[in-house]
Chains A and B, each alone.
Chain A
Amino acid sequence: MTEPNAAAPETAAPDATGLSKRQVRRMKRFDNPWRNPKLIWGVGLLLGIIALGLLGRIFWDTDMVFTGSGLPRQAPVGIENMRGQVGSWAHPLGTDVTGKDILALLIVGAPNSLYVGVLASLIGMSIGIFLGFSAGFIGGRIDDVIRVGSDVMITIPPLLILVVFQAAYGDISLTIMAILIACFVWQSPTRLIRAQVLSMRESGYVQMARLSGASTGHIMFREMLPNLVPYLFGSFIANVTTSIVTAVGLEVLGLGPQRVPTLGRVIYDAINSGALIQNLWWWWGVPTLLLAVMFIGLLLINLGLDEVSNPRLRRL
């Protein structure tokens, strides 16, 4: 994979000012922070995952996620498995131990992981915005409760509580899992927004709005919120990563939704069926690769957003 970060500078010979031609061109261009290469690459990678889910459903038979869709433990195209069978185009990425088609599993599973992450993060974010504004803007007793609450909850690892939950309840749906994860990802946006609101509260334009008799809701959401957008985006993306990591963690432990294909579940099945020892690398390798692409995409988006909100980080 090309790394946009490493490829950016030193393309042309430097001129008298010590800047390369590319950098000079960059300086002359109107500065639109959102046209950030990292951001674009990251969004592109995530769109790739979504495209896999959408196009896959059109061009591939996703009913093959069910047991017995093909012979078990088939290798991908062009690779021979331990029994000397060469993979066929009927199952381009091979099959698992119960004959599920791995390509179909990935087409259904990859968007599911993304869905859990985005949903959990959206809910967590909404809670965070609400609590963060309340704590920072209203202050007093409410601030104390919210601050201590988020301090407490931030030290409890979500995975463990979810394990306890799941051991008691058994099967859960993707949406329930997302809601449960959301209960543990509201703390960092709450803290972030509280800190920002506290420093913003005393700024001129907020004072101005207050003196003009604007309502608390108007000041919070129309005056202050727009200024927080880059931070909110950054926090949102970081939370999507955390949520997906938690969800995949649950799935790899064999918990999480039992009837819906997810990437973590595929890896769980692979480890449990001895895919590592039997050298069936495609079984766990391809879902791992997809997850890695997803996480790298999210990381690039986050780095890009950092540069959007903090001009000091930008390069020429």
Chain B
Amino acid sequence: MARIPASYLTNRMITLVLTVLIAATLIWIIPRLSGLDPASAALGRMAAGGGSVANADQILAQLRETFGLDQPLLVQYLLYIKNTLTLDFGLSTASFPTPVSAMIANALPWTIGLMLISLVVTFIIGNLLGALMVWEHTPRLWKAAIPVAMVFTSVPPILSGLLLMYVFSTQLRWFPLSGPYGLNVEPGWTIDFAGSVLYHGFLPALSIVVVTFGFWALGMRGLMITVQGEDYTTLAKAKGLRPRYILYRYMIRNAILPQITAFALKIGMLVAGQVLVERIFAYPGMGKLLYDAILTQDYPVIQGVSFVIILMTALAVFLVDLIYPFIDPRIRHGG
């Protein structure tokens, strides 16, 4: 196994670290600029809950100390960065005193599961369809049908989610309207539970797949057109290789490489879209958590969820970048 060039590796590392730092800083700075005082906000919530609060001044001072607001800004910032990097986002204010990290730990598996499935499925379907759009041996019916299917892909996932939900859940009643699994199954490692999870996850995943495969298909189409004109494709044809063999081993094999870089860049957008899909399907992932936090003005949760999603995206991009030199040897040779 060949080594990755050190300059490439450091470059990627710097990008990863900077992304995480900048995201964390943005999340910290934005609310501070707004002049919102978390201590008085928390006190206000207490007052709203209890009608009135005795010894408000002392409680306020106490809250300031707990939130670390009595310290200089720089110390606050460094403390925040330290806590954030150790994934400690403090306590949720709406469901006090649950730690934010525990709430995120509960939601994360759902989000990652849904995301991985929909990502892999769209990547495969999208690239295959894109390749078939260019390949000269594609059946006529397919060639006509694929551009029509593209119409869906310009729509954001939330809209496709709404439509699929309306057709399959409220009208046909083939799929459940919301939730991650049925009410009558016990969570655990059982076949019933797994089936229920798949059944409930089908529509959310489908609504992401339907609208994202076109991105890959269009990119693949452009790349395939370039590959089609290359000399090695012509040579492979002249040698009399089977068209299907040429398609998979010569054309797709070469055209797919830039798509993998695009994969890394697209993850961020996909995650944001998925947040909305989870929200309409009441899927208990990060999106739902974020949405509930917005409703209850639960600032630590909003911060935590945003940061974890950005961290996930940055890590995914980094991983793709690490794997890439092994897929495309040209990178290793400084190409």
Q: How far is the CB of B168 from chain A (nearest CB, A)?
A: 12
Q: How far is the CB of A213 from chain B (nearest CB, A)?
A: 35
Q: Does A223 interact with chain B (Cβ within 8 Å)? A: no
> Chain A residue with minimal CB distance to B19?
A152
Digitize A159-189: 1 where CB-to-B-CB distance is under 8 Å, 0 elsewhere.
1110111011100000000000000000000
- A157 CA to B27 CA, complexed, in Å: 12
Is B279's CB under 8 angstroms from A164's CB?
Answer: no
Is A292's CB under 8 angstroms from B23's CB?
Answer: no
Q: Which of A151, A169, A245, A253 contacts B156 (CB 8 A)?
A: A245
Is B147's CB under 8 angstroms from A6's CB?
Answer: yes
Is A152's CB under 8 angstroms from B34's CB?
Answer: no
Q: Does B36 interact with chain A (Cβ within 8 Å)? A: yes
Q: Does A229 interact with chain B (Cβ within 8 Å)? A: no
Digitize B48-65: 1 where CB-to-A-CB distance is under 8 Å, 0 elsewhere.
000000000000000000
- A154 CA to B222 CA, complexed, in Å: 22
> Chain A residue with minimal CB distance to B295?
A254
Given contacts A164-B30, A296-B154, contact A156 B268 (CB under 8 A): yes
- A180 CA to B205 CA, complexed, in Å: 29
Is A6's CB under 8 angstroms from B144's CB?
Answer: yes
Q: Does A199 interact with chain B (Cβ within 8 Å)? A: no
Is B22's CB under 8 angstroms from A249's CB?
Answer: no
Digitize A131-154: 1 where CB-to-B-CB distance is under 8 Å, 0 elsewhere.
000000000000000001001111
Is B177's CB under 8 angstroms from A276's CB?
Answer: yes
Is A159's CB under 8 angstroms from B272's CB?
Answer: yes
Digitize B278-314: 1 where CB-to-A-CB distance is under 8 Å, 0 elsewhere.
0110000000001101110101001101100110011
Main secondary structure of the interface of A (DSSP, over half): helix
Q: Which of A230-245 contact B (CB under 8 A)?
A: 241-242, 245
Q: How far is the CB of B309 from chain A (nearest CB, A)?
A: 6
Q: Which of A267-316 contact B (CB under 8 A)?
A: 267, 271, 276-277, 279, 281, 284-285, 288, 291-292, 295-296, 298-299, 303, 306, 310, 312-313
Q: Does A17 interact with chain B (Cβ within 8 Å)? A: no
Q: Which of B30, B162, B305 contacts A161 (CB 8 A)?
A: B30
Is A312's CB under 8 angstroms from B154's CB?
Answer: no
Is A155's CB under 8 angstroms from B154's CB?
Answer: no
Q: Which of A196-248 contact B (CB under 8 A)?
A: 241-242, 245-246, 248
Is A313's CB under 8 angstroms from B165's CB?
Answer: no
Q: How far is the CB of A196 from chain B (nearest CB, A)?
A: 16
Is B306's CB under 8 angstroms from A253's CB?
Answer: no
Residues of B within 8 Å of A295, CB to CB, are: 154-156
Q: Does B39 interact with chain A (Cβ within 8 Å)? A: no
Residues of A within 8 Å of B310, CB to CB, are: 155-157, 160
Is A163's CB under 8 angstroms from B158's CB?
Answer: no
Is B27's CB under 8 angstroms from A249's CB?
Answer: no
Q: Does A31 interact with chain B (Cβ within 8 Å)? A: no
Is A158's CB under 8 angstroms from B313's CB?
Answer: no
Number of interface residues of B (CB under 8 A): 65
Digitize B156-178: 1 where CB-to-A-CB distance is under 8 Å, 0 elsewhere.
10110011011001100000010
Is A291's CB under 8 angstroms from B272's CB?
Answer: no
> Chain A residue with minimal CB distance to B314?
A155
Q: Does A255 interact with chain B (Cβ within 8 Å)? A: yes
- A296 CA to B276 CA, complexed, in Å: 20
Is B295's CB under 8 angstroms from A164's CB?
Answer: no
Is A241's CB under 8 angstroms from B306's CB?
Answer: no
Q: How far is the CB of B291 from chain A (nearest CB, A)?
A: 6
Residues of A within 8 Å of B313, CB to CB, are: 155-157
Given contacts A3-B151, A161-B306, A253-B291, contact A155 B166 (CB under 8 A): no
Is B279's CB under 8 angstroms from A156's CB?
Answer: no
Q: How far is the CB of B106 from chain A (nearest CB, A)?
A: 19
**Which of A152, A158, A167, A299 is most buried by chain B, counting CB atoms within 10 A of its CB?**
A167
Given contacts A3-B147, A163-B306, A254-B294, contact A291 B159 (CB under 8 A): yes
Q: Does A104 interact with chain B (Cβ within 8 Å)? A: no
Q: Which of A156, A169, A292 contacts B22 (CB 8 A)?
A: A156
- A246 CA to B229 CA, complexed, in Å: 37
Q: Does A108 interact with chain B (Cβ within 8 Å)? A: no
**Which of A6, A161, A245, A285 is most buried by chain B, counting CB atoms within 10 A of its CB?**
A245
Q: Which of B14, B26, B166, B276 contacts A249 (CB 8 A)?
A: B276
Given contacts A6-B144, A245-B156, A291-B159, contact A160 B280 (CB under 8 A): no
- A148 CA to B306 CA, complexed, in Å: 22
Is A3's CB under 8 angstroms from B302's CB?
Answer: no
- A158 CA to B34 CA, complexed, in Å: 19
- A6 CA to B31 CA, complexed, in Å: 50
Q: Which of A1-43 contact B (CB under 8 A)?
A: 1, 3, 5-6
- A284 CA to B162 CA, complexed, in Å: 8
Q: Does B325 interact with chain A (Cβ within 8 Å)? A: no
Residues of B within 8 Å of A252, CB to CB, are: 158, 276, 279-280
Residues of B within 8 Å of A1, CB to CB, are: 151
Q: Does B94 interact with chain A (Cβ within 8 Å)? A: no
Q: Does B203 interact with chain A (Cβ within 8 Å)? A: no
Q: Does B196 interact with chain A (Cβ within 8 Å)? A: no
Is A168's CB under 8 angstroms from B295's CB?
Answer: no
Q: Does B271 interact with chain A (Cβ within 8 Å)? A: yes
Q: Does B275 interact with chain A (Cβ within 8 Å)? A: yes
Q: Does B148 interact with chain A (Cβ within 8 Å)? A: yes
- A1 CA to B152 CA, complexed, in Å: 13
Q: Which of B18, B299, B302 contacts A152 (CB 8 A)?
A: B18
Which 8 residue pairs of A and B lie closest in terms of their CB atoms, listed nearest first? A299-B154, A295-B154, A159-B272, A168-B31, A157-B272, A5-B147, A168-B34, A160-B306
Residues of B participating in the A interface, judged by any CB pair closer than 8 Å:
14-15, 18-19, 22-23, 26-27, 30-31, 33-34, 36, 144, 147-148, 150-151, 153-156, 158-159, 162-163, 165-166, 169-170, 177, 218, 221-222, 225-226, 229, 264-265, 267-269, 271-273, 275-276, 279-280, 290-291, 293-295, 297, 299, 302-303, 305-306, 309-310, 313-314, 317
